[in-house]
Amino acid sequence: MGDDWKRQSSHWGAFEARVEPGGELRVRPHAADVDPPAMLRNLEDSVSHPARVRRPAVRRGWLENGPGPAPRGTEEFVEVSEAEVVELLAAEVARVYREHGPHAVYGGSYGWASAGRFHHAQSQAHRFLNLAGGYVRSVNTYSLAAAEVTIPHVLGPGLSIGQLGSEWSTIAERTELIVSFGGMPLKNAAVTPGGVSNHTVASALDRFTARGGELVLLSPQLHEHPQTVDARWMPIAPGTDVAVMLAMVHTLLSEGLVDTALTNRLCTGWDEFAEYVRSGRDGEAFDAEWAAAGSGIASEDIAALARGLVERHSIVNVSWSLQRAPHGEQAVWAGIALAVAAGGIGLPGRGFSLGLGSMAEVGAERLGLGVPRFDQGENPIDVAIPVARVSDLLLHPGERLDYNGQQILLPDIKLVYWAGGNPFHHHQDLSRLRRAFARPDTVVVNEPFWTATAKHADIVLPTTLTVERDDIGASRIDPRIIAMRRVCPPLEGARDDYSWFADLSRALGFEERFTEGRSAVEWLRHMYDGWRRDEHIAGTTPSFDEFWASGEILLTGRDETANDLERFRADPEGHRLRTPSGRIEIASATVRSFGYPDAPGHPAWFEPEPASADTPLCLLADQPARRLHSQLDMGSHSQDGKRHGREQVRMHPADADERGIEDGDLVLIRSGQGECIAAAALTDALRRGVVQLSTGAWYAPEDLGTGRERCLHGNVNVLTRDIGTSRLAQGCAGARVMVQIERIAEPLATVDPHRPPAFARRIEEQTETTT
């Protein structure tokens, strides 16, 4: 490797980069990566793209009239100097804390941002807000909230959700059958927090099938997977996975294939759940014939799958997408119950997995080491909301929100501080989110790009990209620690989050506590040395200077100990789970005590939203294949996946034919929440009546004047519903929504969602020009 190539990392993989003589950024995968993701190409277009935030900017109305509720997202901005923006922002932060206190500050800052451990935008923002006086925080994730709340009740708190089941290496060697509810979208397996230097999921799946393993995918759509993998696709109706799981349990119960001695030894509440399955509803048992009627999977196939789980070394896998839907908790809980019924729970290469294919971390080898971290400090207040309920927080102060046995009193938020994320990608029902963002006095965003979130802010601080700064790249599952050396200088007025927060903390009187007297590079050394000390590896790893000079270190060894479920299975009394009973809680007295009708105390069946004359199609809103969430949507690889400059919606040819739609046509997609425009892509890799539109297209709203909005670029979250999965988890339920689609006959103007907002000069500057 030449000296001009420098190692870097992203959440979708480690890479090397350099600046060409003409100024272009060039990127290549890490040399160790056997299956590098093509989305690395997006990085090359990012540094000097017109969408970059080049200077500090303030919304004109806020600058001229001061803080207060106001419509946001359409007004001009005024670019100001660094000194002025720090003075303005510090004064506003001080005012809010003085007049309203920390309960009026929301610092969720949910988002992926940098893979570096120091320039981790959320950690930087949280450290600053902790020292400023505290803030209202968020809990759980958009990806996994239903599981993050359900798993502790069923299997106990403290388990690593990504590593509940067997590692891919064990699966490749021992597993004979994987029944995967929600499919297995390997496009998502490129990604993990902090990134990896070698993507191995596809090769492990190859080894599994080459050894004779069978992969059964129950999903309304057939995801791309390696051509060498001969998967069996069963196109299940959306929202009926739990019905099929219950029917499979019923088959095993009725045929005497459940080891009741095992269920009694490992579980509490099994008999209650078994009686629920046998009794069913309205006099009809939850059997295979009942499930076949709604799911579209033949009853004999359901029964055969159930028997196969017992007869072979099998895994029940539940995709993360299934729990991002109304009553998503039930898919996770029922999947665990099915694995228990099949007898494989807690055995190597058998049992239950949550999210094989959903992220690189799931099924990865365990290293047994932590990663270098930037200390966020302690939050002086303990007030939190479920992350997907941010619109409720902003719109309904003073109301109470049911969540996991609590009632949260929603505070009155005056200041929102967001660093390193884009809620106008992650959140649902963007028309409602826009109304919510109009309520606070002030919205502040640290951001490299003019995302929709930045355009809905009052104050925007331009921040650097990873290639414009030094950092340490590391993840929990990768053996390499990467010295992320700066490849190019920051663009114009862009600065690191740390630099901005250091200036703000100086203006507010706590700079020494925020910086601890360290520069950014001194923090890298401090974090690295602290990591070596805390992990007791100082004697076996290079010094910081040696690490930085070499570009990376390769850690050896791995955690060979059994995971928690394996230890529990081997010795249920000696390795009790941390549930109230010490066992797997197939029925939970704790959850039952909450009294939630939408989340009873055991796995239960709830009907999915039905089709109607106005919305006859079920739209699946899943993760994109060409970018991580909405990051670098302007990149060439992301853009190559669009048509007519818009996101593509996949449709079955028969559904398209009924509507006079041809491949490539622009179409209007309508739901009860809003509308968006996309380009039709016809494919038979979908069940009839199902369409699919990936998340992450940058938001380009058009106000229809009716409280509804239309996204001209194809952002699916204009369509999705902003509701919780249930009172239990209050998770994101945006993976499915009922829609109608129609062909657009008239030509449409081009749309550029990546264009910066309009900029204005100040009134005094305009006066000086005209006099």
First-to-last alpha carbon distance for the chain, in angstroms, is: 60
The dihedral built from the CA positions of residue 240, 246, 250 and 256, taken in this order, carries a sign that is: positive
- Per DSSP (E only), the strands in 32-158 are 57-59, 77-79, 105-106, 137-139
d(CA 284, CA 277): 10
Residue 491 tokens read as 């663009």
d(CA 611, CA 150): 28
d(CA 432, CA 363): 37
Residue-wise DSSP of 586-633:
SS-HHHHHHT-TTS-SS----PPPPP-SS--EEEE----SSSSTTTTT
d(CA 289, CA 102): 56
For 637-684, the three-class secondary structure string (H helix, E strand, C coil) is HHHHCCECCECEEEECHHHHHHCCCCCCCEEEEECCCCEEEEEEEECC
- Long-range CB contacts for residues 750-754, cutoff 8 Å, separation at least 24: 750/645, 751/645, 751/646, 751/700, 751/712, 751/713, 752/645, 752/700, 753/452, 753/633, 753/697, 753/698, 753/699, 753/700, 753/712, 753/713, 754/49, 754/50, 754/51, 754/449, 754/450, 754/633, 754/634, 754/698
Which residues have a catalytic role annotated? 110, 112
d(CA 39, CA 32): 17
CA distances from 474 to 162, 194, 198, 238 (A): 17, 5, 13, 37
**Closest alpha carbon to 724 in 445, 416, 393:** 393
d(CA 6, CA 189): 25
